[in-house]
Structure 1
Amino acid sequence: MSIAVTGATGHLGRLIVESLLRRGVPPDQIVALGRNVAKADDLRDRGVAVVQIQYDDVDSLRLAFAGVDELMFVSGNEARKREQHRNVVTAAKDTGVGLIVYTSIANADRSTLMLAADHRATEQEIVASGVPFVFLRNSWYLENYTSQLPTYQERGIVGAAGDGEISAATRADFADAAAAALTGGAQAGQAYELGGAAFTMAGLADEVSRQSGKQITYTDLPVDKYVGVLVDGGTPQAGAEIVADGDRGVASGDLHVEGNDLERLIGRQPTTLAEASRDAM
């Protein structure tokens, strides 16, 4: 069986390849696909096939997918990703891929997030293609927050999430779920809502306070005011609007995940906010 992983030179895709290897998938059955293949030289040295692709180039995708049994489709992050995702699905169908495992977003079928529209469209494209699929609907990464711990300790936490709950988990946990799905742990035709133990932004402030020994506060702002804060801090306007819309979605419950799909896929409790914060301090 051949498993191809797109985005394998990025954070999540690389972790998925590593998880597959830990699960005992032979290196010569894994194809690592990405744009900057120099980042995967060590994988090539370990026996993993490394192939350069461009989501804009359907022919490169067809060549890369030839002979692939399962495709781990890690979603792109560019503005034109809807068209790029369509190219991936078309190439997978044309080359006879037997299963697409797609990294979507939490509650994709009903989410009001700006980011969710492209994921929802991609899910629909995959279903319409007739290729068997598994949708992994990931909530936010804990790293979205732990990467900002120094800023939080210096300036406090600002956002527009209200008291909405975020079922965040680490990239590594989401990667392990993907590897489990690729190795028989998920049922084709199903969407899995993936997230860890939920917390609010006020809860995040409390946890950072506990870990750092400093009193950290959370200041909640209207969405437009939060956009202004982000822009003033150097975030481009378009990016600031997406980030602030994410917080608006948190307040609306879009990033809260019910159930324990992540725990069932990875066979253990997901990493908690406390554990991730401690490790990042």
Structure 2
Amino acid sequence: MIVVTGATGQLGRLVVDGLLESVPADRVAAAVRNPGKAADLAARGVEIREADYERPETLQRAFAPGDTVLLISGDAVGRRLGQHRAVVDAAKAAGVARIAYTSVLYADTTPLALAVDHRGTEEHIRASGIPFTFLRNGFYTEVYAASILQGVEHGAILGSAGDGRIASASRADFAAAAVAVLTGEENGDKIYELSGDTAWSLPELAAEVSAASGRTVVYRDLPHADYRQVLIDTGLPEPAATMYADIDLDVVRGALSPTPGELSALIGRPTTPLRESVAAILKEA
């Protein structure tokens, strides 16, 4: 079986959709925290397995010998390393054949603070002895959906990234990469550094939003402390505001700008252009 954890999340659903286009439904299992939210997947023939990252007893039943597992990283920054370790331990105990993990671009060298949990997870997977594939994902363009919508509403996108560049790709692009790995014949341990084909800056994002919306949208660059305060003022808790503001500093340092081309090579097509993603975000709003 191919087991997708977090299968009712945004990335997980796209991965399951892609798998169902490639393999019979009876080869796909969705490991989810709340099975009730996966009723639509069950109706399509997907096996539903309860798997709550914070309840190890559910993880013990989530995997079986010979499974190929996609561990989609959790979103509880600061707690997810422990969650991931519990998943890996359960997978090892079950005797799975391979584990693929959605990590972060250049996890072993990036200055991104959010990479700490990913590095720790990669280390734990290596130590487990399970054959692995690390899908080191760059940023999803959809991460900037809120900024795009606020830009249309207020005429400005705020940040402190200057002219730093971001080689993002769509969430669907990264899902396609996961499907390619899960349905392919991977031999040995493998690491993919995945990012968009073209890096862009926040001023360029503002220009694309202007073109797509028909409204004038500019990028307003703020000092780091001022941008952090803006995020706090919009309701973000201080730790989250600090993390997001610090990401812009890392953008300036080039942490998200590499374009190694491995994502487009893996999915067999160019990654989704920024313009298309912006148009899709505005259409869905």
Residue of structure 1 in register with 2:43 after alignment: 45
Contact 1:72–1:102 (8 Å) recurs in 2: yes
Aligned-residue CA RMSD (Å): 1.4
**Higher mean C-alpha deviation, range 159-168 or range 141-150:** 141-150
- Is 1:71–1:99's contact at 8 Å kept on the other side of the alignment? yes
1:12 to 2:29 alignment: no
- Between the aligned partners of 1:210 and 1:7, the Cα distance in structure 2 is 35
| 2:172 match | 172
Instruction: Please report how far the alpha carbon of residue 263 of structure 1 lies from its aligned counterpart in structure 2 after TM superposition.
Output: 0.5
CA contact (8 A) 1:161 1:220 kept: yes
**Equivalent AA in structure 1 for residue 192 of structure 2:** Y
Aligned counterpart for 2:30 among listed residues 32, 35, 56: 32
Cα deviations by residue, 1:186-221 (Å, 9 ceiling, x for unpaired): 554121111112101111111112222222211122
**SS in structure 1 of the partner of residue 183 of structure 2:** helix
Q: CA deviation at 1:147?
A: 4.3
For residues 219 and 179 of structure 2, the distance between their equivalents in structure 1, rounded to whole angstroms, comes to: 36
Shift of 1:59: 2.8
Alignment: residue pair count: 279
Alignment correspondent of 1:138: 137
User: How far, CA to CA, are the matches of 1:273 and 1:105 in structure 2?
Assistant: 20
Contact persistence 2:65–2:97 (CA under 8 A):
no
1:226 alignment partner in structure 2: 227
Q: CA deviation at 1:258?
A: 2.7
Deviation string 1:4-35 (CA, Å, 9 cap, x unpaired) is 00000111111111111112x11111110111
- When normalised by structure 2's length, the TM-score is 0.94
Write the distance in 1 (CA, Å) between the matches of 2:110 and 2:187: 23
Aligned to 1:191: 191
Of the three residues 39, 48, 53, the one matched with 1:55 is 53
Measure the CA separation in 1 of the matches of 2:48 and 2:13: 12
Contact 1:101 1:136 in 2 (8 A): yes
Contact in 2 for aligned 1:180/1:186 (Cα 8 Å): no
- State the match for 1:182 in structure 2: 182
TM-score w.r.t. the length of structure 1 is 0.95
Q: Which residue of 1 aligns with 2:120?
A: 121
Aligned mates of 1:120, 1:253 — CA distance in 2: 19
Q: Is the 8 A contact 1:4 1:68 kept in 2?
A: no
One-letter code aligned to 2:162: G
Letter in 1 for 2:144: Y
Gap regions ≥5 residues in structure 1: none
What CA distance in whole angstroms lies between the structure 1 residues aligned with 2:27 and 2:265? Answer: 25
- Partner deviation per Cα, 1:100-151 (whole Å, 9 max, x = no partner): 1000011111111110000011111111111110101111111112344331
Question: Residue type of the partner of 1:37?
Answer: P
Rounded to whole Å, the distance in 2 between the matches of 1:185 and 1:163 is: 40
Of all paired residues, the percent bearing the same amino acid is 47
Moved over 6 A (4+): none
Tell me how far 1:251 sits from its aligned partner: 1.3
Partner of 1:108: 107
- C-alpha separation between the residues in 1 aligned to 2:186 and 2:147? 33
Structure 1 equivalent of residue 68 of structure 2? 70
* In structure 1, C-alpha distance between the alignment counterparts of 2:230 and 2:265, rounded to whole Å: 39
